[in-house]
Structure 1
Amino acid sequence: MSLGDRYKTEITNEKWDAIIIGSGISGLTSGRLLADAGKKVLILEKHFKFGGYTHTFKRNNYEWDVGIHYIGGNLHKNNSFIRRLFDYLSNNNLDWSRMDDIYDKMVFPDKTYDFVTGKQLFIDQMISYFPKEENAIKKYIELVNQVFKSSLSYYSNKALPGIIGSITYPFMSKSFLRFAKRTTKDVLSEIGCSQQLIGVLTGQWGDYGLPPGQSSFGVQAMITRHYFEGGYYPIGGSRMIAETIIPGIQSKGGKVVLSTGVKTILTHNGNAIGVLLDNGDEIMSKKIISSAGVKNTFEVLLNDENKTSNKSAPINQVDASTGYYCLHIGLNKSAKEIGLNNANLWVYPGYDHDQNLENYLLDNKQSYPVVFISFPSAKDPTWDKYHPDSATIEVITVAEFSKHRQWEDTEWKKRGDEYDLLKENISQSLLESLYKHSPNTKGHVDYYELSTPLTSRDLANYKEGELYGINHTPQRFKQRWLRPETKIKNLYLTGQDIVTAGVSAAMMSGVITSSAILKKNLMKQFLH
């Protein structure tokens, strides 16, 4: 059986239980779980590759991820929730490589701090860096654990239908929101963390897109706990995620179709009834599941009957996250030959992340507020077998869509000389950062290509090229409507917007959405 299905007009004549918009991990998870429950599922992907932010692309002998750089979550334990879910979805065909014990390095002008694998080792390491703040560090870990425990009830409530969900929401969400409705900086300052310690503990803020003065402590705590047992990388690259999940959907009679964009979600009398494709075809279905992000769903995909109605969703209560630049680099020697290890580098100009970001947004000539450097070929033990004498690196930083608005009506790879010059200048500045922090790479760069928010908009189909859907502010977590079931009957949401950022969270959202549709707690089978 070939991977995926070709679009044929005959699909419009078939009877579908669910149409899923988008083949990212949340859409694929929903598709597999619904297919296993006997539902006839059709997944429609606008892009020419499956997987959303889990797909890869190739140039010459090189291959890069577009969204996954590492995953946490105890994947080395076969009975952990995330591992059991990945194994189920992939029919045990998805394998993982554990990163080195030092999986993240926080690089500040005066010192580098290692994030190490193992909860207690992480605590001990932080205390060794900040011996006078031992109590604050231990209190922080206690709060991280409290947030995680309370989040289970908070997210479970999202799967409950209508009136039951509304009645139980206050007491199922209260404990989690006690922390999630406050900023990270507020909580860490209250427990006595210095500015320097806050800067280090929140050094992974790029994993969810907001500095501590703006982010919800809920997401900071969830990310911290997610990586207590280190980082992992899918063997064969991130494309293996979609490639191992799709066959299971097809085997149950489902279809996963590429290059088939949805123009509009069709509704009638307040009910979702089908989709209108970019090619003009209409496909009817009992249920529609949007994995396209809440902004796309309510501002772009819904027809005029519902698009501007706050009765459908108060979309003005949430903001889109920022875009990013990613420099994809190919090197003409292997990671081993160059001396690269697989730890990610997080490079900062100072300990005050909020000030760093503010300075950069006011004047782009200021230092980048964060530069994230990932070494994917060093993380994949099969890379050298299929790509000998080569290595890859990704260098990422913040980018504003507004800075690229003058080219928003242009086509990918046809945006003109001025745009190409901007990209080249940014590429050179990111290469400078790479050479400074990984000097062995200098002289070995064979190829590089920069993606911008416009690239992400055109290829990942987010309206302004945002990486993390909607911003992870305290305000976001107080939105009751960010749940699978919408005010439009038979229209459901899935994806990182109803949970939090990241592959594991988006995958969990697929479980929550499927649970809501089937009116059955599917989480139980993956919990030990």
Structure 2
Amino acid sequence: MRRTGRRYRSGRAAENYDIIVIGSGIGGLSLAALMTKLGKRVCVLEQHYTAGGFTHSYEREGFEWDVGVHYIGEVHKPHSTLRRLFDVISDGALKWSAMDNTYDRIIIGDRRVDFVEGRAALIDSLVEHFPAEEAAIRRYIELVDETARSAQKFFAGQAMPRLLGRAYHTARPLLVPKNCYRSVREVLEELTQNQELIGVLTGQWGDYGMVPRDASFLMHATVVKHYFGGGSYPIGGSWQIPDTITPVIRAGGGEVFTYAKVEEIVIEKGRAVGVRMENGDVLRAPQIVSSAGARLTFEKLLPATVRESLGYPAKLKQVKTSSAHLCIYAGFKGTAAELGLPKTNLWIYPTPHHEANTAAFQADVNAPFPMLYISFPSAKDPDWNTNYPGKSTVEVLTMAPWQWFEKWQDTTWGQRGEDYDTFKAQLQERLLEALYKELPQLRDALVYAELSTPLSTAWFGNYPEGEIYGLDHDVERFRQSWLHPITPVPGLALTGQDVVTAGVGGALMGGMLTACAIMGRKANKVMDLVKNWQPQ
């Protein structure tokens, strides 16, 4: 089994870390590696058996699956900020492989629309299916570009000290397009009333977990633009992400510990000075950074008296928890080529009306799945056949409400009871049948399948309601000035997707912006690392 990080035990941690990071998702790891490069000694504490958060992989029955990295955009461009940032924090050890020219295929009924590399090619593909909507399609691409390109201005305040960032937040609506503060459906229905076209244009909504009525157009636009140049996958599998970053942290005298659950942030004289571990150990550092998410940080890790005095219970009522999900991890006999598996992701919907699809499924578990995302990691990784000859893997994901599973939340993983196992088996069978409907050749090749539920996410990831994208990305979330990397508690910062946006790219940028905010007037040193990086 692949594991990254060193198992935590009393006495293994040093006594003089400069920074302690809670959580080893990509936000925490990127922050830790950047601060290491700036001369800080960093300790990363991960409660799971391996580091990486949603960037780790796991093995079962001779197969390997990624748990969150399905494809990443922009890293094919050596000088893009995202690629350079990955290069800096991995010392260039992380390598990428391009997917097919068609990175996403949107399937609604009998209609199949390919999302292909390049704006012009994408427009042509869309116009081929909706010739009467060419003007709307072209204007849509313009609005996506305009809104996504404003993201740097939109999130600039996150790199500033807290008070300056709050002032910037107040002025921000005057500096960015108004569509940043509007819903996806609101923007699109000004362009067209063709609901099938809207259904196709929002066919990647699973990448941020919100239907068009609720999602911020800013969130949507950043995702869509992110893939205009196509998608890529880490060579060797997603576990390469934490595995290439960890040595950088260690080279600076730091460490990434696993089985290292933090119970509480230690506050003395109003300042964060350390963390209390599950076994009672107290580790100290002048700077604590939580990469565990805003809700977990401010609801559980901060002492009750502190969070109440700072008004966090009221603040957290202003934001919502993001979607939970189901995911089938399936292993098959035969190579990707033999089984006809593409590098292209498939998005399958029962109708173009995403809100209605979702509402129907939430009301009745037997209703059609509101969306299906099918990924083929073994086809995307050029090293797969060397590492796992004669085998292939597929992942099938859909959204599912936490409420269906919360009655089992106090049970233990693997011992949740017969009623849970029965419910899970029924869902697994339906998801497999949906897969076979699209790829019937897989039916007789199945070797192993396992269903992950929101309880799995809560158990392994320590996400309170099994959420996968932190806080919801609606318009109201982006109006919250308190969601800043620097908290009102001296010595405590926040990083990851809750300070920027969802996904690996968003959380990665969150790490960089938190590093800038911590550095204050010396934030340019962080940016210089990214701008000036050269292969050794």
TM-score computed with the length of structure 1 as normaliser: 0.97
Query: 1:214 — aligned with what?
Result: 214
Query: 2:252 — aligned with what?
Result: 252
Contact 2:4 2:50 in 1 (8 A): no
Deviation at residue 84 of structure 1 after TM alignment: 1.0
Contact 2:88 2:529 in 1 (8 A): no
> Equivalent residue of 1:14, what SS?
coil
Counterpart Cα distance in 1 of 2:390 and 2:145: 44
> Equivalent residue of 1:197, what SS?
helix
Deviation at residue 197 of structure 1 after TM alignment: 1.0
- Same amino acid, percent of matched pairs: 43
Counterpart Cα distance in 1 of 2:469 and 2:94: 24
Counterpart Cα distance in 2 of 1:28 and 1:490: 18
Query: 1:474 — aligned with what?
Result: 475
Contact 1:312 1:486 in 2 (8 A): no
Deviation at residue 175 of structure 1 after TM alignment: 3.8
Query: 1:484 — aligned with what?
Result: 485
Query: 1:342 — aligned with what?
Result: 343
Contact 1:484 1:494 in 2 (8 A): yes
Range with greater deviation from structure 2 (334-343 or 165-174): 165-174
Query: 2:169 — aligned with what?
Result: 169
> Equivalent residue of 1:9, what SS?
coil
Query: 1:389 — aligned with what?
Result: 390
Counterpart Cα distance in 2 of 1:305 and 1:174: 37
Query: 2:111 — aligned with what?
Result: 111
Counterpart Cα distance in 2 of 1:417 and 1:170: 53
Query: 2:530 — aligned with what?
Result: 526
Counterpart Cα distance in 2 of 1:163 and 1:428: 53
State whether structure 2 residue 295 is matched by structure 1 residue 295.
yes
Counterpart Cα distance in 2 of 1:180 and 1:129: 28
Cα 1:428–1:290 shift into 2, 3 Å: same
Contact 1:41 1:253 in 2 (8 A): yes
> Equivalent residue of 1:484, what SS?
coil
Deviation at residue 173 of structure 1 after TM alignment: 4.7
* Paired letter, 1:265: I
* Paired letter, 2:450: E
Please report the RMSD computed on the Cα atoms of aligned residues, expressed in angstroms: 1.6
Contact 1:80 1:527 in 2 (8 A): no
Query: 2:496 — aligned with what?
Result: 495
Counterpart Cα distance in 2 of 1:503 and 1:182: 24
Cα 1:179–1:310 shift into 2, 3 Å: farther
Cα 1:525–1:146 shift into 2, 3 Å: farther
Contact 2:162 2:484 in 1 (8 A): no
Counterpart Cα distance in 2 of 1:248 and 1:48: 20
Counterpart Cα distance in 1 of 2:191 and 2:229: 24
Cα 1:403–1:457 shift into 2, 3 Å: same
* Paired letter, 2:467: E
> Equivalent residue of 1:378, what SS?
helix
> Equivalent residue of 2:267, what SS?
strand
Question: Within 5 A, what are the aligned runs for 1:29-108?
Answer: 29-73=30-74, 75-108=75-108
Query: 1:462 — aligned with what?
Result: 463
* Paired letter, 1:254: G
Counterpart Cα distance in 2 of 1:246 and 1:42: 11
> Equivalent residue of 2:342, what SS?
coil
Range with greater deviation from structure 2 (266-275 or 318-327): 266-275
Deviation at residue 3 of structure 1 after TM alignment: 5.6
Deviation at residue 309 of structure 1 after TM alignment: 4.1
Query: 2:131 — aligned with what?
Result: 131
**CA displacement, residues 306-333 of structure 1 (integer Å, 9 cap, x when unaligned):** 2334535711111111210100000011
Contact 1:3 1:247 in 2 (8 A): no
Deviation at residue 359 of structure 1 after TM alignment: 1.0
State whether structure 2 residue 148 is matched by structure 1 residue 148.
yes
> Equivalent residue of 2:176, what SS?
helix
Counterpart Cα distance in 2 of 1:79 and 1:491: 32
Counterpart Cα distance in 2 of 1:129 and 1:165: 45
Counterpart Cα distance in 2 of 1:5 and 1:390: 30
Range with greater deviation from structure 2 (23-32 or 301-310): 301-310
Counterpart Cα distance in 2 of 1:92 and 1:366: 47
Deviation at residue 193 of structure 1 after TM alignment: 4.8
Counterpart Cα distance in 2 of 1:439 and 1:76: 33
Deviation at residue 4 of structure 1 after TM alignment: 3.0
Counterpart Cα distance in 1 of 2:189 and 2:117: 26
**CA displacement, residues 247-299 of structure 1 (integer Å, 9 cap, x when unaligned):** 01100111111101000111123321111111111111101100000010011
Deviation at residue 16 of structure 1 after TM alignment: 2.0
Contact 1:154 1:172 in 2 (8 A): yes
Contact 2:162 2:487 in 1 (8 A): no
Deviation at residue 164 of structure 1 after TM alignment: 2.2
Question: Within 5 A, what are the aligned runs for 1:247-396?
Answer: 247-312=247-312, 314-396=315-397
Counterpart Cα distance in 1 of 2:135 and 2:268: 58
Contact 2:333 2:392 in 1 (8 A): yes
TM-score computed with the length of structure 2 as normaliser: 0.95
Contact 1:312 1:488 in 2 (8 A): no
Deviation at residue 463 of structure 1 after TM alignment: 0.6
Deviation at residue 5 of structure 1 after TM alignment: 3.1
Question: Within 5 A, what are the aligned runs for 1:4-23?
Answer: 4-10=5-11, 14-23=15-24
Contact 1:177 1:477 in 2 (8 A): no
Cα 1:54–1:351 shift into 2, 3 Å: same
Counterpart Cα distance in 2 of 1:524 and 1:128: 44
Unaligned runs of 5+ in 2: none
Contact 2:56 2:66 in 1 (8 A): yes
* Paired letter, 1:300: K
State whether structure 2 residue 234 is matched by structure 1 residue 230.
no
Counterpart Cα distance in 2 of 1:13 and 1:99: 42
**CA displacement, residues 453-482 of structure 1 (integer Å, 9 cap, x when unaligned):** 000001011011101001110101111111
Cα 1:197–1:524 shift into 2, 3 Å: farther
Contact 1:195 1:351 in 2 (8 A): yes
Deviation at residue 136 of structure 1 after TM alignment: 1.1
Unaligned runs of 5+ in 1: none
- The aligned length equals 526
Contact 1:261 1:277 in 2 (8 A): yes
